[in-house]
Amino acid sequence: MAVPLLDLKAQYAKIREEILAAVGEVLESQRCIGGPKIAELEEKVAAISDCKYAVGVSSGTDAILAVLMSLDIGPGDEVITTPFTFFATAGCIARTGAKPVFVDIDPKTYNIAPDLIAPAITKNTKAMIPVHLFGQIADMDPIMEIADKHGVPVIEDACQSITSTYKSRKAGSIGLAGCFSFFPSKNLGGIGDGGMAVTNDSGLRDKLMMMRSHGQGARYYHEFVGGNFRLDPIQAAALLVKLPYLDRWSQARRDNAAYYDKKFEATPVETPYISPDCVSIFNQYCIRVPRRDDVVAHLKSQDIGCAIYYPVPLHLQKCFEYLGGKRGDFPHSEKASEEVMALPVYPELTDEMKDTVVEAVLSRLD
Ligand SMILES: Cc1ncc(COP(=O)(O)O)c(C=O)c1O
């Protein structure tokens, strides 16, 4: 039995008519830029994130970039983040001209290790970007404590963790700003690229609104240099259709995760650790296994989807050679890159599919 890593067609089949009607509405209106769908989505995403404001943008990447630009971060500045994340987190820091400063992860949660942050702070540190990886929020209390002590703003990279909670607080509501991605594989995924920044800071919200339109205040009067970071109203329309399903889908992912956890009990498979402070949305279900690459090859040969998030920690990426990172600098991130693999966890998986995945993994570990 073939099991894909993600089956967006299965999701689409259930909401096809709603999506077509919502997209059709935008097309009929020919409001192809901006419009009411975007404002409606912003209001709803702010509400589910316990934030006052949300600003729709063109991707999760652009949400991070626009927030960094709004904080005037640039050459000479340093921004702390983790090397075990999707490239965009550090890529955006580098694009502003600032220096990404990496801090290793907690090997249990894969999120930034709070106790390693303080030694990385210098007089040039201008922001921190903890990443809420795989659907679980980083240990934010100690992170906020260090950040507040040094007066450094915290930008949550919550691209994989919309509506996830930490001590009952929502992803994106704990730092100065939170960034979400609506990449189609996310729990709330569009029908193309999209993203959003959330904040409780009205000044930041106002600046982001301008930043996404080339720093424009009054029409054709530019107060600073921004970008074209606007969210597409067709994406907003599709996302508004999907939003009411989000909690159900995330719960189904949690149920699938619990199913796998049980099946992998007393096996060599290390299942995801979820802190008692957190409720994960399981954007990914990542296990650690010995001889990972062998297991991945076996699953692929059986038409079972799996993926490696992420095979190269960012301090070892070619484009960051100039930062002088070398193997051994961040041992937990490097080890995770060698051992972690993601299994299918999408909501529409059946028990039979999950059993197929479990059997295939275990058959390689006996
Ligand atoms: C942790 C993380 N940061 C940033 C991004 C960038 O989001 P996008 O692909 O929407 O630009 C993603 C998503 O792919 C992500 O997973």
Label residue 10 by pLDDT band (50, 70, 90).
very high
Across the chain, mean pLDDT equals 98
Predicted pLDDT of residue 325: 98
In the chain, alpha helices (H): 8-29, 36-48, 60-70, 88-95, 140-150, 202-211, 233-242, 246-263, 292-301, 331-339, 351-363
Is the Cβ atom of 173 under 6 angstroms away from ligand 1?
no
Per-residue pLDDT, averaged over 4-21, amounts to 98
pLDDT class for 350, splitting at 50, 70, 90?
very high
Q: What percentage of the chain exceeds 70 in pLDDT?
A: 100
Q: If you average pLDDT over residues 224-247, what whole number do you get? A: 98
**Spatial contact of 64 and 172, defined as CB atoms under 8 Å apart:** no
pLDDT of residue 94: 98
Q: Which of 64, 65, 159 to mutate to test the pocket of ligand 1 (most atoms within 8 A of CB)?
A: 159
How far apart are the CA of 188 and the centre of ligand 1, in A?
12
Atom of ligand 1 nearest to the CA of 132: 1
Contacts of 185 (CB under 8 A, 6+ apart): 6, 8, 283
Cβ atoms of 116 and 328 within 8 Å: the answer is no
Task: Give the residue, out of 58, 67, 86, 231, with the most ligand 1 atoms within 8 A of its beta carbon, to mutate for a pocket test.
Answer: 86
Q: Ligand 1 within 6 A of 187 CB?
A: no
pLDDT of residue 366: 75
Q: pLDDT by residue (tens digit) across 68-94?
A: 999 999 999 999 999 999 999 999 999
58 C-beta closer than 6 A to ligand 1: no
Average pLDDT over residues 94-120: 98
Q: What is the mean pLDDT of residues 151-159?
A: 99
Task: Using the structure block, give the residue that is written with the tokens 């994106």.
Answer: 172
Indicate which atom in ligand 1 lies nearest the CA of residue 85: 1
The CB of 160 under 6 Å from ligand 1? The reply is yes
Q: Are 304 and 360 in contact (CB under 8 A)?
A: yes
157 touches ligand 1 (CB under 6 Å)? yes
Percent of the chain at pLDDT exceeding 90: 99
Ligand 1 pocket residue status of 106, Cβ below 6 Å: no
**pLDDT tens column, 243-293:** 999 999 999 999 999 999 999 999 999 999 999 999 999 999 999 999 999
Q: What is the pLDDT of residue 88?
A: 98
Environment class of 85 (CB within 10 Å of its CB; exposed 0-12, middle 13-18, buried 19+): buried
The rounded Å distance from CA 364 to ligand 1 centre is: 31
Nearest protein Cα to ligand 1, atom 12: 159
